[in-house]
Structure 1
């Protein structure tokens, strides 16, 4: 882990950009930056995933600039990054999108990041926070126990889309290391576990357990659990990740990759049961079903925990919101959105 005075970028008073800023994590990060006193926050997003509602509340904010752009077009990034102090780079294809369009995912996740790093070098952006993933540890029977930053990648038995996604994040981390070694580009890699929270979408494979369970319960149906319910998932609340992004910018640390996970893992049966309870229908007990071979599933070989102690040492971060409280906030937001849409 490297430290140097120039690696710290205070959020207060700085000009920052969030690439993929209209996303779940992106919009929460922009809100956090504004709350911490950023002078200006640029939202750079191609808006291809319908993120406009996530940033609608920011349209009239004088400290926010929205740039509809494409990270595959270097000239757009060069123009957008002029005069910036720091960047949080979130834009990426996730597993479900990789399944539909693997070549597009490789372009966005690898060439897109390389363009971001080149724009940062050209415009002397002080620090980049790169959103990686616990997918760098892989999937399948080898994924078990404590997952720490030097845990190797496991690929046996996992679907190609999941492996392509994880591999793209490994390459992205190494591109950041390469930029640091060759050009002195300060960066921190944050390896997110599965994100959930307000403004939740349907694009994250593991988060589907939450939103699809909630949807089924609202229809009065028993929620489904794939397999025997013992599979482990490790989620992190979106507000905690927004803090992590800002704390990584402000830390004097550079050239390091750390896990950012929630307080504790949960099994799929525990998760679905908790959603039913918080939805006011504990009577709708989960139904165990066989996996659908036509759908991408992210499976693990046994109980595991994504350890986040290195993040505390590197950037002073640890999660604050546990699964019950985070789910309560998410479900309240979804219910409020459903009522608002019904009233329109």
Structure 2
């Protein structure tokens, strides 16, 4: 495998979809490791300036307003950069509301970003994929490794469209590597949570909704019997994975970046309740008609050992500590919403 390492110190990085939970955390990580400049590219349709408020005024950070559907915007933003992190995407809830827009951004938007990287001779791209590439439904069980196939039976169309769009994004990266020699690493994120959490990811939303209900004195809700498996990864661990993907000699690879261990819905609700200072017992409810929920067929584990072998990465923050940090942020001045 050729050495595709891109050191952070002294180099310039573009984060496409940078005004986001992962984008802001990664920007901080890159700046802390000596990046010469970090350019956050975002149209602020889903991201927000609040997400990067803690970085405002940093002399090596620049926010560029632009749209991934406009190639000239990306071409200009990528000028002089050495690496790019591709985050911009519609997630499942947004895909459910606007599938055409989601497919445009998740496919053509990725293609535009890769073309801007090629045209500006960037040395390396890191693409944010998802464990959604394994699909949903009864076929998703056991150990999910990088070669596990895509399962779609019984899952909501928006979830399948999202997962399929990430598979296409990964293959576009492979195609640019094959045709143009563009080095890349694909990271298949589990559901991300942590400080500056938003209300857009279907599974991470469950954490926030549970916390909000407890704060209002309402019973948290558990769908079904609470035995469904969820996989989360703390945003700080993921920011470190993004950095290490640039620094690694690896190229033309895709690896899982999951948290230390899966958690059931019932365990998650009880943990949030405990860390929020206690609250009423949860109520078990049926599905709400028309609401997109991401379900699995049973117990499964998203293996991250390959990321350890390829990148030297493994998650460090367990669910209890990550939720403690998230709740502390929610209760801080910065986290309080009007």
Alignment equivalent of 2:287, drawn from 284, 287, 291: 291
Shift of 1:293: 2.4
Equivalent residue, structure 2, for 1:53: 50
Is residue 251 from structure 1 mapped to residue 256 from structure 2 by the alignment?
Answer: no
CA deviations 1:47-102 (Å, max 9, x no partner) are 11251111123231110111010011001111111111100110000000000000
Question: What TM-score results when the alignment is normalised by the length of structure 1?
Answer: 0.97
Q: Which runs of 4+ in 1 moved over 6 A?
A: none
Secondary structure, in 3 states, of the residue corresponding to 1:195?
Answer: strand
Alignment equivalent of 1:90, drawn from 87, 91, 111: 87
Alignment equivalent of 1:4, drawn from 2, 10, 13: 2
Distance 2:337 2:282 in 1: 28
In structure 1, stretches of 5+ residues that fail to align are: none
Show the 5 A alignment for 1:136-147.
Answer: 136-147=133-144
Equivalent residue, structure 2, for 1:41: 38
Equivalent residue, structure 2, for 1:66: 63
Distance 2:218 2:308 in 1: 41
Distance 2:332 2:218 in 1: 20
The number of residues matched between the two structures is 338
Equivalent residue, structure 2, for 1:22: 19
Distance 1:337 1:212 in 2: 19
Secondary structure, in 3 states, of the residue corresponding to 1:336?
Answer: coil
Distance 1:302 1:204 in 2: 21
Equivalent residue, structure 1, for 2:191: 194
CA deviations 1:262-303 (Å, max 9, x no partner) are 00000000000000000111x522111011121011010000
Alignment equivalent of 1:234, drawn from 231, 234, 239: 231
In structure 2, stretches of 5+ residues that fail to align are: none
Distance 1:109 1:341 in 2: 29
Question: What TM-score results when the alignment is normalised by the length of structure 2?
Answer: 0.98
Distance change (3 Å), C-alpha of 1:224 and 1:341: closer
Equivalent residue, structure 1, for 2:323: 327
Distance 1:209 1:42 in 2: 31
Is residue 212 from structure 1 mapped to residue 203 from structure 2 by the alignment?
Answer: no
Is residue 225 from structure 1 mapped to residue 214 from structure 2 by the alignment?
Answer: no
